[in-house]
Chains A and B, each alone.
Chain A
Amino acid sequence: MIKPCQRMSDVPPVVSPVRGTPLLQTVGLTKRYGDFVANDSIDLEIWPGQIHALLGENGAGKSTLVKTIYGLIQPSAGELRWQGQAIALSGPAQARDLGIGMVFQHFSLFDNLTVAENVALGLDGKESFKAISARLAQVARDYGLPLDPKREVWQLSVGERQRIEIVRALMQNPKFLILDEPTAVLTPQEADQLFVVLERLKAEGRAILYISHKLEEVKRLCDTATILRGGRKIATCNPKLETAASLARMMVGTEVKEVKPRGERRITVPRLVVNDLNLPPDDPHGVSLQHISLELKGGEILGIAGVAGNGQDELFAALSGERPVKEPGNIIIDGIACGHLSITHRRKLGAAFVPEERLGHGTAPRMRLSENALLTGHAAGDMVRHGFVNAAATLQTVDRATQAFDVRKAKRDPEAASLSGGNLQKFVVGREILRNPAVLVVNQPTWGVDAGAAAIIRQALLDLADQGAALLVTSQDLDELMEIADRIAVMFHGQLSAALPRSEATRERLGLLMGGSSIDGKDPAHAAGA
């Protein structure tokens, strides 16, 4: 069923191995949690001087596999072979001793410790702290990854934190390096810098296992790709010979729904207007919003790009009313000045909000979906009558969202925390869209969501705009914004750039804005509205 290449042996590695045995091999590797099989007899071969991609949807078993290779998880069956020798890893320390390094997706850093201390914790402790600091500076300089060893991690940007992880892994002088979605939080320019480092590691004869959702990146960087689906290995192939679509098809198992191209959209009156919005940070190291102005008309989607932590969360809080502002006229929804109003009042005006963090912010994890539907739906609609909850109406909302957005769950009304990330995200977005909002503000609509669910969510956002709603979509995924947004603006240090029409918003121009430089010599701080 899957065409190009089924077996590793069909694809000669681009760099031919020095020895006749792979550096690392898994043979029939299986991990069971009760009845659930996270990894089902997976065979994988990693050769020196190879960048090997590991692809798959959320829950396909990628993380379980790499954690097993790194010694964090004990396999239920099967074998790990290192340079042809069967090994049993008792823990990551042993994996590191062999020469296996790992850069984690969710950073494994300690916020309140210094850079040097963080690095020291990742090493085996035979070196003195002084020697570690010196070597840290050396490695950082060698690979062009500058770091100040004395700073504490909480002071650093996301890109710098990633640098710590990479430098820490490199200081173990690994023969084999695992990177779990390393570019998810980087600007395109930062990602390019990372690729230079990875190419160099490859040239040094090290092997790299590279997990990413970004298929174009995989095509560009990787020599071999192994695709997992539902815990099984589906194929091993050369990604350079595949298209992004064919890779996605193997990951999902069916054709990924393409987002339908838009027809002529009717752009109507301004529905969300922000006038010179300023907001001081609510903690000493937060970002302050400065002179944010924008105008969003019905039928329009405005995308906001930017590296995380440049004020997107603060902007969301101000727009949603989680942090009301003093001047009512700062924020106008459908002609009504509402900067001072609460989130409930704004919902009554027809606005809806989807925050970035779905578990804990978008939903209460230990509450049922129907209760979570009530939490945002009580302001308008029929869920509350005379102060009493209409349980039937809340359940109906769950059912409608389930049906419209293909939310997969074990029972009719489970706790929010029991849903997988993608399904919960579909529910959270669906819950708001079903309210037929006039204005929808959504932060990171498809963050950490697999390709299939992401396509459903993006299509729903486009359909909502077609019906005349105004949408403000904040995302760190430039491809996503270029796919759905009519205009794209960039947030940097609490300031919003002028919005570029999609036709002019190239990756390069947006990347420059995201890094804080202007595209045409003008100060990006001077935001213009429409």
Chain B
Amino acid sequence: MELVEAIILSVLAASTPLLIAATGELVTERSGVLNLGVEGMMIVGAACGFGGAWLSGSIIVGALCGILAGAALSLIFALMTLGLAVNQVATGLALTILGIGLSGLIGARFVGERISTAPHLHIPGLSDIPLVGRILFGEDAFVYLSIALIIGVWWFLYRTRAGLVLRACGDNHVSAHALGYPVLRIRLLAVLFGGACAGLAGAYLPLAYTPFFIPGMTAGRGWIALALVVFSSWRPARLVIGAYLFGAVTILQLHAQGAGIGIPSQFMSALPYLATVIVLVLLSRTRTGGSTAPAALGTVFVPDR
């Protein structure tokens, strides 16, 4: 019982950064922009988030620093791909490389420092219920925030006019422009949101997951978040399922190793990607028509005036 609870708690903790980063990327991609720089924005978010928290002593300031850092980095991406119409794939990859370098630079003086991580909720009585108590009522604020975020994004995309316009930009930017929607401005906002989410997801790691910063601590989570968006076929509900599934896989891998189960850890680390490929194949085989991905994803748009 204890072990199950421990596993579920650690799965939730491992899934949260994936969920936050993937939620941001989902919005970005739904607007038709493919930002492969999630890993880079996350690691810069981690460095700045830890720095902010260490200097100020406040987790909230740290989280805000992470958000701003991620958004700032995504602004560079937006200027390149939206302003100068540079290839999105190349820019996104470059952004990751830039982010990894930058985070090392920013984080160098914080390596070896420690902070106290984000406090967990405690509601007397409720949090003490066996098994579900701690899982439902004893998490840190990021976990609740991530769930609120994805619900908010779902509501925005499918229940608001602005969300409809954003989806329209991702489906056909030429038509959206012809109808008079400011495609590039909408995409800029979507990219910034994606960057902010990636920054927050990165900041989560030193602020709530481990109490210190080490270079490269995102360890490929940005790539998993990207795979997750594809895995979810760009739908928020599936994204939640996917995030916890992928988070579970990373945790089970640790437990499997600990228990001496003879599955190579490399195989377990590859599972999220393998699952994404399988889902893609299944989707294209059972597809009823139309396109699963936003039809304009990754294409450059230059309005003629």
Binding site for B on A (CB under 8 A): 71-74, 91-93, 96, 104, 106-113, 117, 120-122, 125, 129, 152, 154-155, 283-285
Q: Are A125 and B178 in contact (CB under 8 A)?
A: no
Q: Which of A91, A96, A109, A125 contacts B172 (CB 8 A)?
A: A109
Q: How would residues 138 to 173 of chain B score, 1 for a CB under 8 Å from any chain A CB and 0 otherwise?
A: 000000000000000000000001001101100110
List of 4 A-B pairs having minimum Cβ-Cβ separation, nearest first: A92-B180, A108-B175, A154-B290, A108-B178
Q: Are B305 and A120 in contact (CB under 8 A)?
A: no
- In the bound complex, CA of A125 to CA of B162 (Å): 10
- B288 CB within 8 Å of chain A: yes
Shortest Cβ distance from residue B62 to the other chain A in the assembled complex, whole angstroms: 39
Interface of B is mostly: loop
Q: Are A74 and B295 in contact (CB under 8 A)?
A: no
Shortest Cβ distance from residue A295 to the other chain B in the assembled complex, whole angstroms: 35
- In the bound complex, CA of A91 to CA of B182 (Å): 10
Q: Are B165 and A112 in contact (CB under 8 A)?
A: no
Q: Which of B164, B165, B288, B294 contacts A284 (CB 8 A)?
A: B288
Closest A residue to B288 by CB, please name it: A284
Q: How many A-B residue pairs have CB under 8 A?
A: 69
Q: Which of B164, B289, B295 contacts A121 (CB 8 A)?
A: B164
- B2 CB within 8 Å of chain A: no
Q: Are A74 and B305 in contact (CB under 8 A)?
A: yes
- In the bound complex, CA of A71 to CA of B175 (Å): 14
Closest A residue to B290 by CB, please name it: A154
Q: Are A72 and B171 in contact (CB under 8 A)?
A: no
Shortest Cβ distance from residue B233 to the other chain A in the assembled complex, whole angstroms: 12
Closest A residue to B304 by CB, please name it: A73
Q: How large is the interface on B (under 10, 10 to 19, 20 to 34, 35 or more residues)?
A: 20 to 34
Residues on B with C-beta less than 8 A from A117 are 164, 168
Q: Are B304 and A121 in contact (CB under 8 A)?
A: no
Q: Are B174 and A285 in contact (CB under 8 A)?
A: no
Q: Are B171 and A110 in contact (CB under 8 A)?
A: yes
Q: Are A120 and B164 in contact (CB under 8 A)?
A: yes
Q: Are B171 and A125 in contact (CB under 8 A)?
A: no
Q: Are B168 and A113 in contact (CB under 8 A)?
A: yes
- B287 CB within 8 Å of chain A: yes
Q: Are B172 and A111 in contact (CB under 8 A)?
A: yes
- B179 CB within 8 Å of chain A: yes
Assess A113 versus B167: contact at CB under 8 Å? Given A73-B305, A104-B178. Answer: yes
Q: Which of A112, A121, A284, A285 contacts B179 (CB 8 A)?
A: A121
Closest B residue to A71 by CB, please name it: B180
Q: Are A120 and B289 in contact (CB under 8 A)?
A: no
Q: Are B179 and A108 in contact (CB under 8 A)?
A: yes
- B291 CB within 8 Å of chain A: yes
Residues on A with C-beta less than 8 A from B168 are 110, 113, 117, 121
Closest A residue to B162 by CB, please name it: A125
Q: Are B295 and A108 in contact (CB under 8 A)?
A: no
Shortest Cβ distance from residue B165 to the other chain A in the assembled complex, whole angstroms: 7
Shortest Cβ distance from residue B170 to the other chain A in the assembled complex, whole angstroms: 9
Shortest Cβ distance from residue A468 to the other chain B in the assembled complex, whole angstroms: 44
Closest B residue to A124 by CB, please name it: B180
- In the bound complex, CA of A109 to CA of B295 (Å): 12
In the complex, 16 of the A-B residue pairs with CB atoms within 8 angstroms, ordered by the A residue number, are A72-B180, A108-B172, A108-B174, A108-B179, A109-B175, A110-B168, A111-B295, A112-B291, A113-B167, A113-B168, A120-B161, A120-B164, A121-B168, A122-B179, A284-B287, A284-B288
Q: Are A110 and B175 in contact (CB under 8 A)?
A: yes
- In the bound complex, CA of A92 to CA of B290 (Å): 28
Shortest Cβ distance from residue A138 to the other chain B in the assembled complex, whole angstroms: 21
Shortest Cβ distance from residue B48 to the other chain A in the assembled complex, whole angstroms: 37
Q: A92-B178, A112-B167 are in contact. List 5 more A-B contacts (CB 8 A).
A: A110-B171, A110-B175, A121-B164, A125-B161, A283-B289
Shortest Cβ distance from residue A214 to the other chain B in the assembled complex, whole angstroms: 23
Shortest Cβ distance from residue B178 to the other chain A in the assembled complex, whole angstroms: 4
- In the bound complex, CA of A73 to CA of B304 (Å): 7
Closest B residue to A122 by CB, please name it: B179
In the complex, chain B residues 191-250 whose Cβ is within 8 Å of any chain A Cβ: none
Residues on B with C-beta less than 8 A from A283 are 289
Shortest Cβ distance from residue A223 to the other chain B in the assembled complex, whole angstroms: 28
- In the bound complex, CA of A109 to CA of B164 (Å): 13
Residues on A with C-beta less than 8 A from B288 are 284-285
Q: Are B164 and A112 in contact (CB under 8 A)?
A: no
Residues on A with C-beta less than 8 A from B290 are 111-112, 152, 154-155
Closest B residue to A154 by CB, please name it: B290
Q: Are A113 and B171 in contact (CB under 8 A)?
A: yes
Assess A155 versus B289: contact at CB under 8 Å? Given A104-B178, A108-B178, A110-B172. Answer: yes
Residues on B with C-beta less than 8 A from A71 are 180
- In the bound complex, CA of A150 to CA of B295 (Å): 20
Closest B residue to A73 by CB, please name it: B305
Residue with the highest number of chain B CB atoms closer than 10 Å, among A110, A113, A117: A110
